[in-house]
Structure 1
């Protein structure tokens, strides 16, 4: 006897795991109704939506992304899942269950939710890896090919190169691991953004090291520096800490 996923199970899986779990559960329902064409279309559209939505989220300016609460995003694709389920499956599933079909177990929903969440994260990481970490021009320095992105309207290539030389001399850029930073300018002050691990952003020792770095760079450039430590969590939420 076929087991079917209800609307409630599908929407809950979407809230917990993103759009992919909804696509998987709806795919399974279509397969069990013998509608293979609709099943494969569902999977294809789910992947297209997830990739497109990921690109949109990752290209939004940080100041906009920071104002978007995570529940709003999950509610958005949860609503889409509910609408599509009602439109294409709700009536048929209700009739089938009334005729003796069984509701799928919540354990299987949990399993597909975890699988879908993993696929969502892989897609997001793939998109994030494929796009530059910062906008602007890129300068590669050092044997480890460290990357310095800079705003060409306020920063010259010579200034970016000088920053690279200083970071190598100060031991910030090493031969072990390539690093990426962003150099901008606000008025008479340079603004240097350095990505760090999320669990390091509030580290007191790191803050002390960054404060010493601002002094060294200010001596070298003759202008004040602000260093911004930047990190993102798995949902794309940005955390920053400024050091002057």
Structure 2
């Protein structure tokens, strides 16, 4: 004969406690582990993202990576970094980086750093030319212009046009955006300055020898000067001969 089991209030209470304990344990196990605290480090961020070996090496050689970290951890202004991939650097003309001086390498990297934090939406409304850490935004120096097409952000230097292909990192203080081309500034990679205009032709010297051709420095040429002297000599001989004949006839 079946017996109806009726749990006592104590049993119900214990069962409820067990259920709550199991749920709490499961929730705690699924919670994400908090990231380790510490100062922002641009090179570590790029290393974690991968495909930025060349950029990291240049940042270490020029010490720009340390400068960025110092500014980020001692200022509330924030920073934006445009990060070209390894493929972007590989697409440069062979020997491009080796042809640059140490100072030019610093300027090239500074041209990829904006000294304030810009979200993707803010990039679509910035005023051009955008000022970078390279400094002068004049058209023949370090101009950086940002335009948009829908949600696509385009970056132009006057030498290179490229697109922001990905947002690598953002934390409210630092924003890192991936580029598929290296930003080449006008002052270093723009067209060569035009050759100076030729000087106007110098005028001949005025005087008795106006009809005698002159050299570039205005002096009479040796051939023309000799011709003038020889002509004068013949004229003197003719006058002397006429005088002698006249005397004999008298």
TM-score interval, normalised by the smaller of the two chains? under 0.3
Q: TM-score, normalised by structure 2?
A: 0.27
Structure possessing the higher relative contact order (Cα contacts under 8 Å, 6 or more residues apart): 1
Q: TM-score, normalised by structure 1?
A: 0.27
| Higher Rg | 2
The structure that is helix-richer by fraction is 1
